[in-house]
């Protein structure tokens, strides 16, 4: 599992709105994936904005 897969997966999950347990195993273990999202959320990171190449919305 690479950090890049997690970085790709969080915006995907947010945009699709799927349950955490239904996220593809390509993005890693859902608990790890959810932990990354929670850290981003606490740090006020906008996961959807990361899809724009760091330019935000």
pLDDT, tens digit (0-9, with 9 covering 90-100), for 1-57? 577 877 788 778 888 888 888 888 888 888 888 888 888 888 887 766 655 454 444
Chain-centre distance for alpha carbon 10: 1
- Which pLDDT score, from 0 to 100, does residue 57 have? 43
Q: For the whole model, what pTM was predicted? A: 0.56
The answer to whether position 30 is within a domain reads: yes
Q: Does 34 reside within a domain?
A: yes
- Can you say whether the dihedral through the CA atoms of 46, 21, 4, 40 is positive or negative? positive
| Host domain of residue 22 | 3-50
Q: Tell me whether residue 56 is in a domain.
A: no
Number of domains in the chain: 1
Reported as half-sphere exposure (CB side, CA atoms, 13 A), residue 36 has a value of: 20
Indicate whether 33 belongs to any domain.
yes
């Amino acid at each position: 599992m690479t950090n890049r897969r997690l970085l790709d997966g969080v915006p995907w999950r947010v945009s699709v709105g799927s349950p955490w347990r239904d996220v593809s195993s390509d993005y890693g273990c859902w608990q790890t994936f959810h932990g990354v999202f929670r850290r981003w959320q606490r740090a006020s990171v906008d996961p959807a904005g990361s899809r724009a190449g760091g330019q935000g919305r």
